[in-house]
Structure 1
Amino acid sequence: MMRDKVWLGVNAIVMNEKGEWLLLKKQYGGMRGMWSTPAGFVDNGETADQAVLRELYEETGIQGEVIGIMGLRTGVIKEEISDNMILFLVKPLSTQITVTVPNDEIEIVAWRSPQSILQDDTVSPMIHHLLNDMSEPITLTSTVSPGKKFNYTHYHLFT
């Protein structure tokens, strides 16, 4: 069975010490003109947790640490593409946005309070849902491969 129409994306849910969320507006795609969280696709040769940290840095200039998984968004596009996104909770290692915006991809990046997010209808409905129904993340722990049989460099356990 071919799997060329299975997409895996990642999404960084990042909050600072004040409880503000890191949001951005992309200048392309289905979320164009909407506030959303840093996100993108997993590249060949990287794990999902590596991808979310790469996307966070590329889109905002902020480095982070994966804390856990908040959820999975999954759907089907045009009845043929399996579209899946893992929602990671990421702790920022700094709060300074260091990318130059606007650029080819991003219109603006900002820290926003939960109150301002909930009052803004240009924020992704998924973020509104997360703010209203936030739960504890599933802890993510990296460990070594179970052996050559799987040919993995590492795998993740959820606790």
Structure 2
Amino acid sequence: MRRKNSNGSKPKNEMTQTKKYCPFCGARIKKRNIEGRNRSVCESCGRTLYENPLPATCAVVFNELGQVLMTKRAVEPAYGEWALAGGFVEIDETPQECVLRELYEETGLRGEIIRQLGVEGEKSEMYVNLMIAGFLIKADSEEPRPGDDVSYAEWFDPDKAPEPVFESHKKLFKIGIEILTVELMRR
């Protein structure tokens, strides 16, 4: 399914615009078949410029009542859809720092990472290929407030939570709920 912006237009894909010049020597870049893939190679210094996935995180957040947090997106892609809190890893932070920062920026909540849930890939028209690390987080407080990139944040009983829009979030949410269910049964 192709996504559209809230105005009906196709998302601008700035991430797929291939570099034209080598960041090492400034010469032009050409496409060449290397290792069975169409790769960018500098005509002058011969360096291969690899294009890698963009790292991101998401959080399955729960409270004392065993409810899970869902956010409604206020930005593209998937404007107005439900998703897990999360975002892109900054150059100077770890995925763990990123997920806690994004949780606070998007919901005003602080929390404790209980465990990493896994890493999922996600194809994206806007960002090409994402690598998303999911974390299970216990919230320190109860009242979320929407922040940047989010128009709404709400607690749900796990079986009544809306389905996350992104496939990677769906998979990581399922893993998080399975872990929470086991923990709740132990109580």
Q: Answer yes or no: same fold by TM over 0.5.
A: yes
Cα pair distance change 1:9/1:106, threshold 3 Å: same
- Note the C-alpha offset of 1:136: 4.2
CA offset digits 1:135-155 (Å, max 9, x no partner): 449xxxxxxxxxxxxxxxxxx
Runs of 4+ aligned residues of structure 1 deviating over 2 Å after TM superposition are: 1-6, 75-78, 123-137
TM-score by length of 1: 0.69
Greater per-residue strand proportion: 1
- Note the C-alpha offset of 1:75: 3.3
- Percent identity, aligned pairs only, is 27
User: Paired residues, what number?
Assistant: 130
Which residue is 1:37 aligned to? Answer: 84
Structure 1 unmatched ranges of 5 or more: 138-159
Q: State the secondary structure of the residue aligned to 1:8.
A: strand
Greater Cα offset, 87-96 or 44-53: 87-96
TM-score by length of 2: 0.59
Could you tell me whether the CA contact under 8 Å between 1:70 and 1:136 is conserved in 2?
no
1:67 corresponds to which of 114, 120, 127: 114
> 1:3 & 1:41 partners in 2: Cα distance?
19
Which residue is 1:147 aligned to? Answer: none
Q: Please list, as runs of the form range in 1=range in 2, the aligned pairs for 1:1-159 lying within 5 A after superposition.
A: 1-3=48-50, 5-77=52-124, 81-97=128-144, 99=145, 101=146, 105-117=149-161, 120=162, 123-124=164-165, 126=167, 129=171, 130-131=173-174, 134-136=177-179
Greater per-residue helix proportion: 2
